[in-house]
Structure 1
Amino acid sequence: MKNVLILGASGSIATLIERNLLENNQVKMTLLVRHPEKLAPDIKNDSRLKIVVADVVKNYQQLVNSMVGQDVIYANLYGANLGQQGKSVVRSMNEANVERIIWISANGIYNEIPGKYGVWNASMLGSTLDAYAEGAKQVENSGLEYTIIRPAWFSDKDEVNYELTQKGQEFKGTEVSRVSVAAYITSLILDSTKEAHQSVGINEPNTDGSKPSFY
């Protein structure tokens, strides 16, 4: 049995991952959320899931307690204080003796996007991009078994179709489907040795341009 803790469990990508993992009877999930009413009804009402209502910064001891006994942490967090959230998550993992974390961030945190799309992305995200970069920095420098995920802009396409780039490579494409990102992260949760100590960009092939097609 693999024990998985999902932080920020009501997010759109997190919800898709939760549905994927519910199909695997060798996974036991704990969901940590600030606002449980935002969980999808099918998730909220599933008796197989443990739900913890807490803030990763304000309710530190609850976070630590939720970490104990977990094999993998997936952090689906957002906000201007992502650096502070990252510090809290790293500290709590060390306290609870948990090693493996998958942390979703954003494309552009290393200025790795070339051309007009890079300019557009930075202008659209603004200070949010700085927050994503600070959060990722906390995780990368933690000494934990981390994987950072840097997705392109999310589309609602109902197909899994993606390619990956590594830190130090130019980012490709402008968009990626939510189901693709969820499928990839699900694979990392199920095989915790994949992409350890890596920061991975994910995009749909052949979507290069100055901005995503839906803008």
Structure 2
Amino acid sequence: MKNVLVLGANGQIARWVIAKLTDRKDVFLTLLQRNPNKLTGWEPANGQIVIGNVLDRKLLRAAMAGQDIVYANLIGEDLDIQAKRVIEAMQNTGVKRLVFILSLGIYDEVPGRFGQWNNEIIGTDLEPYRRAADAIESSGLDYTILRPAWLTDEHEVDYEITAKGDAFKGTVVSRESVADLVAKIIVSPELHLGGNLGVNKPGSDGDKPYFM
């Protein structure tokens, strides 16, 4: 049985991950979300709900105890601070495996006109994401960082990955595709160990996402 802590469990990618894992007998999910008003009945039978904030050290450490894998689906201007709290709790409880969703563009790795457009639109917002990545990489944890392209709600699983240091490909990727990759890592934690991966839909190159 793998015990999996999902941080930001009400996020759109996280919901897809939970749906992909909900019928597995070898996975138990602990879902941490901030707002009890967002409990909607979608929560899986193979799980439990914890209401709280990752910035609450006591609560996070309690939720972390006994977990095998932590999957973080967090956002915010303080994402770097959130990441540091997650790292601290994992180090204090001896949990090693971490999957963390960040963003394309944090290494100025997006080439061409799309890279220029992306930087103009979200460049300054990426600073805490980059600091979060740096903290994770220096944490000593068994991490996988995912940097998805601009996200769509297409009901499809169609993606490719690029390594850190490689030029980013494509402009978009579906949330379901990112969730598929996360779920595969959770089921097989040795996958992409130490990876820092761009995630995009093949053939989606362009000057900007098709919906913009």
- TM-score when scaled to structure 1? 0.95
Residue matched to 1:169: 166
Give deviations 1:173-209, integer Å, cap 9, x for gaps: 0000111111111001111001111100100000111
Distance 1:134 1:73 in 2: 19
Partner of 2:121: 124
Does residue 1:180 correspond to 2:177, yes or no? yes
Q: Which residue of 2 aligns with 1:196?
A: 193
1:40: how far off?
A: 4.4
Aligned residues: 212
Q: Which residue of 2 aligns with 1:150?
A: 147
Between 171-180 and 28-37, the greater mean CA deviation after superposition: 28-37
> Which among 68, 71, 87 is matched to residue 71 of structure 1?
68
Q: Which of these residues, 48, 51, 54, is aligned with residue 49 of structure 2?
A: 51
Q: 1:40 and 1:159 mapped to 2: Cα distance?
A: 24
Kindly, what percent of the aligned residue pairs are identical? Answer: 43
User: Is the CA contact 2:103–2:149 (under 8 Å) kept in the aligned structure 1?
Assistant: yes
Cα deviations across residues 116-151 of structure 1 (Å, max 9, x unaligned)? 111111122133211211111111110100000000
Residue in 2 that maps onto 1:85: 82
TM-score, normalising length from structure 2?
0.97
Deviation for aligned residue 1:170: 0.3
SS class of match (2:120): helix
Deviation digits for residues 7-53 of structure 1 (CA, Å, limit 9, x no counterpart): 0110000011011110211100001111132244322xx44321111
Could you tell me whether the CA contact under 8 Å between 1:166 and 1:199 is conserved in 2?
yes
Structure 1: gaps of 5 or more residues = none
Taking structure 1 as reference, are residues 40 and 128 closer, same or farther at Cα in structure 2, changes over 3 Å only?
A: farther
Q: Which runs of 5+ in 2 are unaligned?
A: none
